Amino acid sequence: MAVSLSTEDKLEYHFYPVTAGQIQFRVKAPNDAHIALTTGPQEGDPMYEVFIGGWSNTKSVLRKNRTKPDLLEVETPGILNADDYRGFWIRWNDGTLTVGKEGDSDPFLSYTDSEPFGIGYFGVCTGWGATGDWLIEGRKPLNTPNKLEYKFHAVRSGSVLIDVKAKSNGHIALTDRKGESSPMYEIMLGGWENKASVIRYDRKQPDKVRVDTPNLLSEREYKRFSITWLEGLVTVRSGGQSGAILMEWRDPNPIGVSYVGVRTGWGATGDWKLRFEQYPAVTGQKKHPSTTPSAPLEVRGLDVGSTCWCDASGGMVPPDAVEGGNDDGPLFVGRAHHEGALIPGKVKPSHSVCYVAWGGEEHGKTDYQVLCGCNPTWVAVSGGDIPPNAIPGGETEDGEPLFVGRVHHEGTLTIGKVQPSHSVCYIPFAGTEVAFPEYEIMVKQ
């Protein structure tokens, strides 16, 4: 799947999620093809920038956090062309960033960062008199050896489409951080010498689901599977998104899946192709975002009037969503699963995510819920002083109730989470989690 786009003579990045440790692209521009590598879908620290064909198409540089001196600078006269697509690749692994030309195995820029960061998005733009046409390759096959070791890829959606060629034992891990962790879901396809498949939770037996699947995998041809996870419902289909359900299991305490890992073992090697879908066609019929209200049991048991949380994704906002803030446009009251918690936050439609604050950082979630169909009001409080009519909005990974708060910060009105035991409102802002002892809390009228 190649993405095609044009960029104006305007130093403003267009952002896209990454699905692997590299991007490949072709660009047609007279000069100044700029690529940003970031944690979230916007400019902000930390950030790498690669400028190809800068300084009137004479030099290329690598810059970090928009500060000079540049990390690297090389002479690259005539590297770009206004009439021809020129191909490039950028790779990152364990803190080493390399940039090379299509067809060349050696990079023309290579840098090892002593303080690397997780790259979740890339952006492209042109400027300094140049416009650009870009072709960006969005898929990459990968190989796995006969070794029970997962290769992980970040996901920003609730679905992955997998093509795998292996004689047996294609294993897929769904985790909330990069690497094997606890808890995690494991899907084992064609195990037990290609006779059975299972869904396993946290590497423990008994398996949650086990089905007989004789000759499911093949070492001669790719077999396709679709795996979706949404609100803890893990579904494995054979043949793609509209295929028959092979296995399904619902986790009563869903983990926030952020990474997918694949591996082979028990005598098998595998070739894989992964494609991350923006939003799964979970049941084949179109799922209307405002028809599936849900709330955690702790919240549903409380008298919260007509309060209702609606499933949504990818920037969607149901028609009766509650607006609660502003940052270059309206922010809506949302919440999302992360690291075992259900966290209130801000839905920013233009960024296609709900941002939540957790662990000192801001996290963008493609799947989330939006508060709908009620008309709350906001009252000023400080510390852990929670009014009796405050509307519960979620809970921590330890089960402590969280409420919805907001604060004025740097010209915005930003929504976040109130954690009573910490006596503050945390907001997700510019990549970090910021705490405020004075804030407004959402209450029912």
- pLDDT-derived band at 289, boundaries 50, 70, 90: very low
Q: Are 369 and 394 in contact (CB under 8 A)?
A: no
What totals of helices (H) and strands (E) does the chain contain, helices first? 3, 39
Quick one: which H or E segment has residue 56? Answer: helix 54-57
Strands (E), 265-322: 270-276, 293-294, 308-313
In Å, what is the CA distance from 265 to each residue of 181, 210, 211, 236, 253? 19, 19, 20, 20, 29
Structure tokens at 381: 């409080």
Give the pairing type, strands 59-64 and 159-166.
unpaired
Distance CA 188, CA 210 (A): 9
- pLDDT-derived band at 301, boundaries 50, 70, 90: very low
pLDDT at 384: 85
How many other CB atoms sit within 10 Å of the CB of residue 50? 23
Type of residue numbered 373: G
Q: Are 16 and 121 in contact (CB under 8 A)?
A: yes
Predicted confidence (pLDDT) at residue 3 exceeds the cutoff of 80: no
Predicted confidence (pLDDT) at residue 18 exceeds the cutoff of 80: no
Residue range(s) in the chain whose domain bears CATH number 2.60.120.200: 2-137, 141-276
pLDDT digits over 40-69, tens only? 777 878 889 999 999 999 999 999 988 888
The three-state secondary structure class of 299 is: helix
Instruction: Specify the DSSP class assigned to residue 8.
Output: -
Q: Is the pTM of this model over 0.75?
A: no
Range among 5-19, 107-121, 125-139, 255-269 with highest mean pLDDT value:
107-121
pLDDT at 157: 63
Predicted confidence (pLDDT) at residue 211 exceeds the cutoff of 90: yes
Predicted confidence (pLDDT) at residue 393 exceeds the cutoff of 80: yes
Q: Are 262 and 172 in contact (CB under 8 A)?
A: yes
Q: Among residues 235, 197, 200, 239, which one has the least CA distance to residue 215?
A: 197
Distance CA 247, CA 177 (A): 24
Q: Among residues 67, 69, 73, 68, which one has the least CA distance to residue 52?
A: 73
Tokens 């990474």 belong to 259
Quick one: which H or E segment has residue 194? Answer: helix 191-194
The architecture (CATH level 2) of 141-276 comes to: Sandwich (2.60)
- Calculate the CA dihedral of residues 377, 381, 383, 387 and round it to 10 degrees: -60
Q: Are 86 and 133 in contact (CB under 8 A)?
A: no
The architecture (CATH level 2) of 2-137 comes to: Sandwich (2.60)
* All residues at 6 or more sequence positions from 117 whose CB lies less than 8 Å from its CB, including other chains: 39, 46
Q: What's the chain's average pLDDT? A: 82
